[in-house]
Amino acid sequence: MAKADHIKKLVASYGRSQDFRAAALRIIDEAAHQGKKPFADSLRKILDANVSPDYQVASQPRLTSLASQVDPSTTLVDEINVSRGLRDIVLSPDTQALIEGIIEERRRSEELRRHRLPLSTRILFAGPPGCGKTLCAEVLARELSLPLFSARIDVIVSSFLGETASNLRRLFDFASRRPCILFLDEFDALARTRADTTEHNELRRVVNSLLHMVERFRGPGLVVAATNLPQFLDEAIWRRFDDVVSFDPPEEREIALLLSRQFANFPVHFDVESMSQKLKGMSYADIERVCFDAIKKAVLKRRKSVSETEFASALRKEMRRKGLTSLVKM
Ligand SMILES: Nc1ncnc2c1ncn2[C@@H]1O[C@H](COP(=O)(O)OP(=O)(O)OP(=O)(O)O)[C@@H](O)[C@H]1O
Ligand SMILES: [Mg+2]
């Protein structure tokens, strides 16, 4: 039998399809958990056929604030429109395996629950800028058909310190009540080390309550935190995450993959391999910019392929931008 609390929640959510769906999913999970798979499956079919999540209706190519449904006075999250999936991201084999593992686990969650195995619900992405942390949050949302909400750190960290903790509580409540991915970008801004002597005592308490909230978060969706300053994170934060995924700058293999994708619809007339050597040390975002720039130059010259001259000139532009011109010999 479904728990009385779950049934109460279901009835109380009448008229709010997203909450209704979340409550119904809890009952389905519970039934699957108790070994009543045919019942769970048939409920799931009925639910999918009749109750579409609000976000499927609402999601438009714009930023939508759904936080107003929780508290009309404050906007704690932005909904990010999601379009890119696994085939749009290039990852090292290790990182790829971790991400595919997270997706597989979610897709087969009922099997795992049947064995009473906990699901990963808290994931930390760490790595330098432009290496795919935000993109990967989008990829997870797309692959798992979940809406992606990005927390507005600027709004959450209030100048009134007491409010920061209560904003965080509302944020986690929000994510606990609907299947979604809550993305905490610039996580270091929230979870700076408590040992930092420049911080106020009250801020340490905020970090403590954040640790507590991350620790207690059990879904229904995922919390994905991202940082490019992992060295500033409080030591205790690491073990609160089920998975820590590192996003490194591309090596030779990944550069070649990225180039082949970027130039998939626009052939090149030069030796890509020798050019890839010159891209070492750049981020994916930098390399993407070089490719776009080279293609743009070719298009403006009304050419159907990119020549070495265009690519080299786009690369020089990027190097100048980074103040590294002297390092490139072309
Ligand atoms: N691994 C990747 N594979 C393919 N494209 C990538 C990858 N990483 C970055 N890009 C491209 O660069 C853009 C910017 O990357 P993204 O925003 O994911 O970086 P980030 O790691 O979140 O950086 P930051 O730390 O500055 O937030 C992406 O939207 C994508 O177009
Ligand atoms: Mg980012």
For residue 302, the enclosing domain spans 252-327
Closest residue by CA, ligand 1 atom 27? 129
The domain that contains 289 carries what CATH number? 1.10.8.60
Crossing angle between the packed helical segments 308-322 and 284-300, to the nearest 10 degrees? 130
Same domain, 112 and 258: no
The pLDDT of residue 159: 58
Residues 255 and 280 sit within 8 Å (Cβ to Cβ): yes
The domain that contains 162 carries what CATH number? 3.40.50.300
Same domain, 18 and 154: no
Residue 223 CA to ligand 1 center (angstroms) comes to: 19
Banded pLDDT at 324 (limits 50, 70, 90) = low
The pLDDT of residue 62: 35
To test the ligand 1 pocket, which listed residue (134, 183, 185, 246) has its Cβ within 8 A of the most ligand atoms? 134
Quote the CA–CA distance of 93 and 146 in Å, as a whole number: 25
Question: 246, 281, 311 — which closes off a domain?
Answer: 246
Question: 13, 29, 52 — which closes off a domain?
Answer: 52
pLDDT digits (tens, 9 = 90+) for 109-126: 889 989 999 899 999 999
Residues 181 and 221 sit within 8 Å (Cβ to Cβ): yes
130: Cβ–Cβ under 8 A, 6 or more apart, which residues? 283, 284, 285, 286
Residue 248 CA to ligand 2 center (angstroms) comes to: 13
Residue list, ligand 1 pocket, CB within 6 Å: 89-91, 127, 129-135, 228, 247, 258, 284-285, 288
Residue 81 CA to ligand 2 center (angstroms) comes to: 15
Residue 133 CA to ligand 2 center (angstroms) comes to: 5
Q: What is the DSSP string of 104-120?
A: HHHHTHHHHHHTTPPPP
Same domain, 86 and 172: yes
Atom from ligand 1 closest to the CA of residue 227: 25
pLDDT digits (tens, 9 = 90+) for 167-202: 888 899 999 998 999 999 988 887 775 555 555 666
Same domain, 22 and 169: no
Sheet with 148-151, strands from edge to edge, namely 77-80, 148-151, 181-184, 222-227, 122-126, 243-246
Ligand nearest to the CA of 90: 1
The total number of structural domains in the chain stands at 3
Atom from ligand 1 closest to the CA of residue 250: 1
Ligand nearest to the CA of 183: 2
Element (H, E) at 224: strand 222-227
pLDDT digits (tens, 9 = 90+) for 207-250: 888 888 999 998 899 999 999 988 888 778 888 999 999 999 99
The pLDDT of residue 9: 75
Same domain, 170 and 220: yes
Tell me which of 62-71, 89-98, 173-182, 317-326 is least confident: 62-71
Residue 160 CA to ligand 2 center (angstroms) comes to: 27
